[in-house]
Each structure stands twice: as C-alpha cells, then as structure tokens.
Chains A and B, each alone.
Chain A
Amino acid sequence: MAESGIWYPKDKTVIAGIGEGLEDGKYMRWGRATKSEFQLACEAAIAACEDAGLDPKLVDGFCSYSDDRNNAPRLAAALGCNELKVSIMQWGGGGGGGSGAVMNALMAVATGSANYVIAFRSLCQGQFGRFGQSSASGRLGGAAAFSSVYGLMSPPQSIGAIRGRRHMALYGTKSEDFGRVAVQCYRAANRNPRAVMYGRTVTLEDHQASRMISDPMHLYDCCQENDGAAAVLITTEERAKALKQKPVYIVSAASGNQHVAGNNPFQAEMAGANFGETDKAPGVAKRLYAQAGLTPDDIDVAQMYENFTPMVVISLEEHGFCKVGEGGAFVQSGAIDWPNGKLPINTSGGNLAEAYIHGFELQVEAVRQMRGTSTMQVEGAEIGLVASGPGVQPVTDMIVRR
C-alpha cells in the first residue's frame, strides 16, 4: 500500500476526549435549544477538553464539515486559544464529512502542523432552517435548474427515496428491510437518556404505518432535525500519554467519491452510497480497510450514518459486511441488532433516534464503544467503524480501536 516515501499514520493518532453540546443533559428537537448554535459548539469543544484533561487554551486547530457556521478563528477566539494553526473544512458532501473532519485532524497532528485539534459539528436546525424544507425563492441556477425546479428539493426525496427505490428495483429490497434499521436505532435510543427519542418505542408495525414522506420513505425512514453539538479532541499517541483518558486509536480514515459521468450527482450509480468499487478505482471502503490492514470481519460495532434507512442497507453492503444486493437479507437476519447480532449498529440511536448532529454524534458513540461506556455496549468490542455520508459527494469513513 505504501509507496516510497509515503507513510500512513495508522494507530499514531488518537481521540483523547469527547464532548457534547446539550441542554439538561439531552440533545434537543429543532427549535428547542435556548442556547445559540455557537454557544453549543463552544460547550462541546470545552467538554471534550475537560474529558481529556487538557486546558482548552492549548487547542490549536479546528476541523469541521458541511460549511459549519462556527468557524475556526471565531472558536479559537472564544476559547482564548494561545494560537490557531489549522483551520480545515472538509469540502463538499454535507453531513457525509464527519469522518473526514477526523481524517483532516489526524493528518494535521501526524504532520506536526498542530498539536491538539478539535473536530466537531454544531447544528441547530431550529435557528437556521430545517433541511426537510426548501426555502428556495426566485430563479434557481446551477444544478438546481435541472432538479429542484421539478420538485426534487429535499434529501428524503433525492437521497433516500430515489436511491432506495433503485435498490428495491435492482435487488428486491423491501420497505420492511429499511424498517429493521429504524427498529434497531429506536431500541438503542431507548437505553440512552441523551437521546431525543428516549422513551419512544418504534416497532416495525409503527414504521410501516407511519406517514409517507416521499415514496418509499416513511417518516421513520428519515433522520431527525435537531439542535445540538458534538466534538472530539484529536492528538498524537505521544501527547495523549499526559492526558486523563485511555486513548482511542484512530486506525484509519478515508474520504472519496466514485467516478461520475458528468457534472450532475444524478449521473452517479444511484443504487449505491458512493463507498464502493468501480472499474476505475477501489473506492473509499476498500482504501479504508487497506490502510487499516483490516477486513470487514474485524469490525465489532458500526455507526452507520442514516440520513435515510435504505442508505444504511446500501452502506453495509459497500463496506463488505454482506454482498451487494443482500443488505435486505442481512438486516432481516438480525445481524445489526444488539446484543445478539454479529454487527450491532447505531448503538446510541443514531441520526434517526439519538440526534441528527449531522452524524457527528456517531463519532462520539464510536469512542464510547471503544471505552466500554456506551449505553448499549457491545461486549468485548475492540474495533469500531463509522461510515459517514452516505450517498453524498464525497463520503468519508473511519476505523477506531481500543
């Protein structure tokens, strides 16, 4: 894998602290936060430092994604950081960039470009607009002139429904298969007092009976719209020795996009999630495992970003947990359930049921699983995967270990 002079910093960088921006110990429904999105970003960053036992003024880098509004210089000023070195935004891919923010942070610390980097996301859809509603007005240009003008204006339509329908047509996947993902996420949220859906049960029957948003996406196939923030502190293995927590090692992180025919995302393979192999390149998932020196069988627990449930089914296939086209059978077999499945997923409730902090709460849960402190702990879990995305351009993912 390594060419001459290139060295991948596998296991050389760690997540040393985790933090969240909550109110009364919980993530919030959209519009319920009384604090600003900016304050929640600061609180999450400070909490990650406190968890690690690091003075926040020593943080010298910030990484985020999806054009997070709380930019690095502003956060560095707010925390009184002694200096700011790196200020890195994962470019494109919206919520698919969470593991990319971790990847960019690990590259910064591995090269010595920064010492202690906060990777984070703060997203209050109640303060700046909900993703499920289009506020487009006037004439639309760019790609929207060829898509949004036909009423294709929101992710449940363009990602969940369009891709889910194609997968159903190609492979016979069913709505009930998508529903199994929702059931596992809600079960996990019911063990997690931070979760917005804590105390809410959703059975497969509830999923099937829930109102149709954009066929075949029911209400319970879709991620929530929330207010909250999440952050992790990344540094080198060496620096982590002076910090409080047993570090969680970042084994590998990767970012990428498949070859696309033209300048329109609807030219891509739409029964896919953008992690898979094409005849032009091995793809993000294969690169992730190759860098790690691991295979899908090595993964004990997985946080699979659910913008929409069919994308989890497809993402499981593209990460090699089952064959392409067999994701429906895989989830029906109970493989993703806890505690008896061989690959429990979304063990704090995920975007569907814990909170949609644009997927960054999945990075925090991945760390908890490695520390043994999850509210739905996979016994003996040593290696965890986070698949961000899916189905956006580019997608990202990461593998962590105890």
Chain B
Amino acid sequence: MAYLPDDLPLPRTDEIDTKDWWEKIQNKEFVVSQCNDCGIYRNPPAPLCNECLSFNHHLEPKPNATGKIYSYTICHHPVHAALRDWPAYNVAIIELDDVSQGTGLGGVRFVGNIIDANNDELYVGMPVKQTFEDRGGVNMVQWLKG
C-alpha cells in the first residue's frame, strides 16, 4: 500500500516535455534534467535552460541522491475526496544536495512525501534520500529519512 491513497490522481507520463523523464522513473532510474551547455539542472524537466537559453539537454542519472527538507507541512484537512478518511500526511519540498539549479540558487527542488517518517519527526533541514514508490501502477519519486 502506498503512502497516499490509490485513488488520489496520478501524474500524466505522456507529455512531450516530460515523457522521457517518466520513462526513466518507471525503470527505477532517478534522473534530473541537465543543460548540455552550461550544466545546470532543472525540475520538472523543461525544454530550455533559463540561465543560458540552450535547448540542448539530457537526463543525468543521479543514483543514491540525497537532499534536505526545504519546507514541509502536515496535512490534516482532506483536500480531495480520496483523502477523506486518510490519516494526516506530510508533504515536503526537498532540495537536492549537489544538483545546482543555477548560480547562487541552491539545489534543484522536488515535491514529495517522506514515506517512512512519523509526522512529528520532520524539520526544515532534515536529511532525506531518494527512493521509488508504486502507486496505482505508476512508479513515483519519493523520499526516505536520510
């Protein structure tokens, strides 16, 4: 059973700008979109680099990626019908270590759930590590306590 309910809406994995990334994720390969010309990263994947404006990019493998919680919340009020009887859950913004999103702009960020944490364990700055989780047949990027 996944961290969130199976009937919570799932992502589209077929869109032009992101389908290659999703294919890697379904294969359990964690990758981050990187500019071929200046080397900075972005998430979600984007057609161009907003630092050098290059349209050349690739998906750089980042196995064993780690990061830190940039911010988080514990959601109590059900915001979707699928969450009506679900216990309070966490959602975090995770900033990756050593994966720069631009000069002086820190690491690339991901939204995700820390799926093995109790809600009262989370704090800004907490180390986390990347994992995968299947929900409703879609493999998703997720996070574990670091």
- The answer to whether B89 touches A151 (Cβ under 8 A) is yes
Which residues in window 168-217 of A have CB below 8 A to B? 169-170, 211-217
Residues of B within 8 A of A143 (CB): 44
Q: Name the distance in Å between A256's Cβ and chain B's nearest Cβ.
A: 17
- The answer to whether B11 touches A149 (Cβ under 8 A) is yes
Assign chain B's interface to a size class.
35 or more
- The answer to whether A138 touches B9 (Cβ under 8 A) is yes
- How many A-B residue pairs have C-beta atoms within 8 angstroms? Tell me: 137
- The answer to whether B80 touches A133 (Cβ under 8 A) is yes
- The answer to whether A267 touches B75 (Cβ under 8 A) is no
Asked if A134 meets B109 with Cβ closer than 8 Å, knowing A139-B11, A214-B74, the reply is no
Asked if A261 meets B76 with Cβ closer than 8 Å, knowing A149-B11, A150-B112, the reply is no
- The answer to whether A152 touches B11 (Cβ under 8 A) is no
Asked if A263 meets B80 with Cβ closer than 8 Å, knowing A139-B12, A149-B140, A150-B111, the reply is no
- The answer to whether A169 touches B73 (Cβ under 8 A) is no
Residues of B within 8 A of A163 (CB): 71
Which residues in window 103-135 of B have CB below 8 A to A? 104-105, 108-113, 119, 123-125
- Identify B44's interface contact among A154, A213, A216, A264, CB under 8 A: A264
- The answer to whether A213 touches B113 (Cβ under 8 A) is no
Does residue B43 face the partner (Cβ distance < 8 Å to A)? yes
Does residue B57 face the partner (Cβ distance < 8 Å to A)? no
Assign chain A's interface to a size class.
35 or more
**Chain B interface (Cβ within 8 Å of chain A)?**
4, 8-13, 15, 18, 42-44, 46, 50, 70-77, 79-80, 83, 89, 91, 93, 101-102, 104-105, 108-113, 119, 123-125, 140
**10 A–B contacts, CB within 8 A, in A order:** A138-B9, A140-B11, A149-B140, A150-B112, A151-B8, A153-B79, A165-B73, A214-B77, A261-B102, A262-B42
Known contacts A166-B71, A212-B77, then 20 further A-B pairs from the complex at CB < 8 Å, ordered by chain A residue: A145-B12, A148-B9, A151-B83, A151-B113, A152-B111, A153-B79, A162-B72, A162-B73, A213-B77, A214-B74, A214-B76, A261-B42, A261-B105, A262-B43, A262-B50, A263-B50, A264-B109, A266-B93, A267-B105, A270-B93
